[in-house]
Structure 1
Amino acid sequence: MSAFSSLLRTDVLVIGGGPAGLAAAIALRQRGVDVTVVEARPASIDKACGEGLMPEALTALERLGILLDARDGVPFRGIHFEDVKTRVEAVFPSRPGLGVRRLRLHERLRARAEEVGAHLLWETRCQLAGPQSALVNGEEIRFRVLVGADGQASQVRAWAGLDACRVDRVRYGFRRHYQIEPWTDRVEVHWAERGQLYITPVAEDCVCVAFVGREPMREDEPWQPHFPWVEERIGNAAECSVPRGALSATRVLREVERGSSVALLGDAAGSVDAVTGEGLAGCFQQAEALAAAVVSNDLEAYASTHRAISRLPHRMAALLLLMDRYPALQQRALQALAARPHLFEELLAVHVGERGLPRFALERGPQLCLGLLMASSY
């Protein structure tokens, strides 16, 4: 007998067993909903990312019953911006973030999903057969709601006719790990014309280095020529993982649900550029909103909440990507913030949702504009 032959029917069928799909399964089970997750890959899933969980991501995980601590990764107290001449940093207003290897995060999510009673089917093929049925390794399973959590190239999204985008931009990146003791308790974002280099402490003897830029890059493309000041810090430290590439997409869909039976989640439902570090926080918050909508049989409410969750990250990404696109603006912005570090602290509070962006713009916008005018490009 197969692992799923006794299922035959499930309230919710989730396609995709990454963080989004597992978070949805956990949130649904917390509300008593029967849920099955189908994933074609093995149970341990890695993905190229910066591996830094922002404070609001940790808070959302705690609501899902997952408490991460120093055994899972390395706390970081804030964010550090730096280019060849200027640096500025700030601490989070309430709680630290946590640098966590992606495989470790997936392991914790998978264990929690199993603990709450979700059905997890790994290395399993799924073919959608009708509005509320699918073939799982050739056997039919019926469901009430279908959730597409199958990533940026979502087949569920295409099947449901939800591919239409209002915004669709892509950048390119690679992630590496270096065996070296972290030298900072911040996530560092280094800026150059080629792109950004993100450095996150993830273990007592390991840092994650992610290189992201607008132009396509090769797996073996060195980041060192663009960031010589970082090369000096890492020195001859050995790489301790295989380089892994990924797209950093800005994608806003016109719709994330269809009727009362299909919803999209995580990257399948659109994505925000990695420059914000907010992708996973939004994913976990979406999972909670989706579970509430399924229970109330109101996927339109999920679509509304999804828009609200995505609004601030997309606005902050737009500001940061202007700096990526125009190096002279980036140089002036870092100078202005370095001269007025309280503005960077308040911007970080906006970024993590502890201060409103309109209020910041009204009260601090004139100071920031003056700083930009007084600064100079290199």
Structure 2
Amino acid sequence: MKRITFITLALLCVSISNTFAQKNKKMDIIAYYTGDSQLIDQYEVGKLNQIIFSFCHLKDGKLTVDSPKDSITIKHLVSLKATNPQLKIIVSLGGWGGCEPCSAAFSTAEGRLKFAKSVKTLSDSYKVDGLDLDWEYPAIEGLPGHLYQAVDKPNFTELVKILRSTLGKKYELSFAAGGFQKYLDESIDWKAVTPLVNRINIMSYDLVNGYSQVTGHHTPLYSTNPKEESTDRAVEFLLKQGVPAEKLVIGGAFYTRQWINVENINNGLYQAGKHVEGVNFKDYAKTYTEANGWKYFWDDKAKAPYWYNASTKTFATSDDLKSITAKAEYVKAKKLGGIMFWELTLDSFRDGMVNEIYKVKTAK
């Protein structure tokens, strides 16, 4: 009897150990997607765990698909699950500039319930797997001119509560979180919200944004000084708030931010300049070339690349294959929930950023 008990116990310990090992090895690869129903077929969907359709919006307080084209796209994304059993399709509300009515709509219990019921109806109708809230931002300024108010913070908590109770456990619920300190401090009641969501998608990019008149790393893994925003800074803050590591997803940027009129000091890094439109990852190889006057630099402390063109006095910052690898390895080391990125249509169809993340995920 004792022998049987010992063997049973030993097997149980092995089973538990294997379960945690499998859990720790899991690293979700999550793609925000703005393309149509045809473009998605060009990508290696089999390497993704989630596709977040971007974006749906509020109309009369309800979650609404904007157009027949978007409706076709969502249905096609859902159809991909038939041949990709690991895949979940999520719809996202909002985006930068896409949540103008959110503060007002979610300011009453009636408004929040109306929205939650519409999410359930839409999710059931399209057979999607859940919702990602991309409200930029509760309680602090987002796009200039959009309403924000201090009461957004408790209202966001109440919104998540009614969404979870309305959707039940069947549906995924996540939200896109600002990666900068003001958002982390002021927008979310982390202790109240965290138990109700499946994951928190940290937008650890645009940390130096288009409103900045000084260059810097816009999506660094680590801070190079105590005041610099970074992926690690946001992660460590949230872990200290008691957020479980497996609920944290960090963000990668598949695009550059660029500044012009940047003097050739420190290769353009941390210098004054004027922000202009950047470049998509799939176009890096033909844009950031020595023939075009560009030089590539690597900040080993930040684990971030940047480019400088002395002839045009232009500076660029982003993720690239090297930095996205470092981020994926960080996810593994920290046992985080995964890595997401903005956004899939900016990647190469093959051998691009998604593939680089996948290589780290599947490495032994």
Under TM normalisation by the shorter chain, which class is it? Answer: under 0.3
Q: Give the TM-score normalised by the residue count of structure 2.
A: 0.27
- Is the strand fraction higher in 1 or 2? 1
TM-score, normalised to structure 1, is 0.27
